[in-house]
Amino acid sequence: MAHIVITSGPTREYLDPVRYLTNASSGRMGTSLAQAALDLGHQVTVVSGPVSVEYPAKAKVVWVTTTQEMLDEARMAFSNADGLIGAAAPCDYMPEHVETSKLQKTGNDLMLHLKETPDIVATLAAKKLSKQWVVAFALETQDVRFRAIVKLSRKACDMIVSNSAQAMNSLDNSVEVILRGGTVLDQFYGPKPLVATGILRLIDKHLIVPTANS
């Protein structure tokens, strides 16, 4: 039995108290991965941005809003976990300044200065212990396999799940799972729970080292 941390859903970066940047991530892949991991007997902590999907009752869920909060909570959970699956779609940019009161319309264009948010999987993979593992997702529209392998290596992850852009906010997914070193392990297509089961089986086989008491 392993303790697996799953980041899930989008994050939000506020411009002012009522407006924010975000994306269409639904958290469906995260909830399917959580269920698949529980079904294989693992302990699961989900660190989730705001979503309306329900996570399995047996998973511990930590709710966050911003990418920095997701990093802080994922780091805390990962410190006593075996592995991390980065299934979230965190906002990659945040406003340089967050206004404390609602921005008023002036009749002129509004210029936003955005800075990059931290990369959660890359940050945690860079500091992981040798017995810990990190799985990332990659969503690309062209040169899909090549870019996924580049990402796997740049983020120093152990496995990457390359999926299509149609996966976002959809019930189905089509993925290719690639192991560190660039070995393509398998491809799965269909409803997200089915795809998640395939991914978790590969994680079990290639990343989770059996221990004497598991």
Q: Is 23 a catalytic residue?
A: yes
Give the whole-angstrom CA distance, residue 41 versus residue 38.
Answer: 5
From 71, 88, 7, select the one nearest 45 (Cα to Cα): 7
| Sign of CA pseudo-dihedral 57, 80, 118, 13 | positive
Build a one-symbol-per-residue string for 48-77: x at contacts with ligand C5P by CB under 6 A, - elsewhere.
Answer: -------------------x----------
Give the whole-angstrom CA distance, residue 208 versus residue 195.
Answer: 19
Q: Rounded to the nearest 10 degrees, what angle do helices 192-206 and 28-39 cross at?
A: 50
In the structure encoding, which two tokens stand for residue 51, read together?
């979503």
Q: Pick between residue 72 and residue 92 the one whose CB is nearest to ligand C5P.
A: 92
**Is 173 a binder of ligand C5P (CB under 6 A)?**
no
Choose the binding region for ligand C5P from 35-43, 57-65, 87-95, 191-199 (rule: CB under 6 A).
87-95
Minimum Å gap between C-beta 39 and ligand C5P is 22
Choose the binding region for ligand C5P from 102-110, 136-144, 174-182, 205-213 (rule: CB under 6 A).
136-144
Give the whole-angstrom CA distance, residue 137 versus residue 88.
Answer: 8
Minimum Å gap between C-beta 7 and ligand C5P is 6
In the structure encoding, which two tokens stand for residue 74, read together?
């994922």
Question: Which residues are designated catalytic?
Answer: 23
List residues binding ligand C5P (CB under 6 A). Answer: 7, 67, 86, 88, 90, 92, 117, 119-121, 136-138, 151
